[in-house]
Amino acid sequence: MTSVLLAPAGQLAAALPVRWLYHFTDFRTARLIATLPLSGVKLTEVLGGVGTADADLSLAPAVRARDPFAATTPRRTCLWAERQMLDPDTRAVLDSRTLWGGIVMSRKRSLASGGMSLKCVSWESYLARRRIGQDLRLPFSDTLGIGRILIREAWRQPAVGAYPEVSPHHQPMLDISGPLSGSLVDREYLATDRKPILEALTQLSASGEGFDWRLEPFMAAFGDPTTLQVRALLGYPRLGRVMPADLIWSTDPRDARRRWGAVSGLELTEDGVAVNNRVTALGEGQPPDQLVAVAEATGELESGYPLYEDVLTSGTADLRTQQAVDGAAHGGLVAQLSSQVQLSGVEVRGDVTPAVISYALGDDATVHIGEGLTGEPISVVGQIIGRTITPGQAGGTEKVTFDVQGTAAA
């Protein structure tokens, strides 16, 4: 990210005007087609999953002059949302962040409204539309290294026509170097399995101790939408900052005086429906020779919880060693136990401290909740796993709604 901020991002964000720009490019060539004025925008992102964007576009004559029809061709064009902070006097751009990027998937035009509605999906969604097209035999390989190899497989295009084999948008994904986890696993992917790349990556990231990943849009050159790209971020055992002191919100308005963010809405859920304390993973083969592994939360059982059991059976064709099946069982157990406490729909302002540009998916949030909702004041600390940004329109404020997966403590 490029920035010229001279003070903490949250403090400046509260004082400086914000402008959103929406750029549309061609998927294959990365050519900038148009920058269009969208309204009713909602930008959603999910850690290690698929995000969405919804928006409306007026088809007034001034907009039609920019050729919005070529710019919004489903499956062929891309949307990028750029957030700029401006100098209040000169209107010069002080900070530019590309906070969302993905593919236009559908559009609907209405004679009554004289406009068009758009639905888009984030870059992660494209991984679900691509299959592993060659045999990948990866014995005793680093989990993050395998993850980068899987992501790299998604972006090459058929060598037909005059278009490049890899779009300039996706060049960063071809580099499979970077920090490693030190956690080695066995994986063997066969082209004949035709496994979706997103499915393989999701299973890999949930195995053993797991890892976090997401695809991040950015501009390679400050404020230049002709340089829009996307890169893969992988982190072991996680992405993001752990309990940062600047990411604290509270439901008590008095806490805002301590420079904590104010929460205007949330839901706290403790859901054990999909949580089990014994997980069995099944790998390659058929009984009695099938690979099997069991992971159990002995501490929970010893503390008095009854036994809840689950069996992982789907998508295990690539688990061809005992070590791989062991990792799947352990990862499934950890993921289920950590999902029981969910803080969802946390509504905050995006243009005041902590400002939306001061945190990202993967960072920890601390949310203080008053006794009216919980019987006694508690704090929930956990990783931000999903976020929806609603850019402010004329006379409105910028809103962020995020979800936290973590633990509650009195």
Q: Find the DSSP H helices in 95-208.
A: 124-128, 143-153, 197-205
* Region 16-22 average pLDDT: 91
| Strand partners of residue 340 | none
Residue 316 confidence (pLDDT) above 60 = no
Distance CA(366)–CA(379), nearest Å, equals 7
pLDDT digits (tens, 9 = 90+) for 196-206: 999 999 999 98
pLDDT digits (tens, 9 = 90+) for 239-298: 999 999 999 999 987 776 567 899 999 988 877 888 999 999 998 888 888 889 999 999
pLDDT digits (tens, 9 = 90+) for 60-79: 999 999 999 999 999 999 99
Distance CA(276)–CA(297), nearest Å, equals 9
Coil, strand, or helix at residue 137? strand
- Tell me the angle at which helices 143-153 and 197-205 cross, rounded to the nearest 10 degrees: 170
Token reading at 385: 């796993």
52 pLDDT tier (thresholds 50, 70, 90): very high
Distance CA(338)–CA(3), nearest Å, equals 35
Domain ranges of the chain: 2-123+220-228, 126-214, 248-271+341-409, 278-338
pLDDT digits (tens, 9 = 90+) for 297-312: 998 899 999 999 999 8
Distance CA(168)–CA(186), nearest Å, equals 32
Phi and psi torsions of 61, nearest 5° = -50, -40
Q: Kindly provide the residue ranges of all beta strands, DSSP E only, lying in 206-317, ordered along the sequence.
A: 212-219, 228-235, 248-250, 261-262, 265-270, 278-282, 292-296, 309-312
Residue 209 confidence (pLDDT) = 79
Note the pTM of the prediction, 2 decimals.
Answer: 0.84
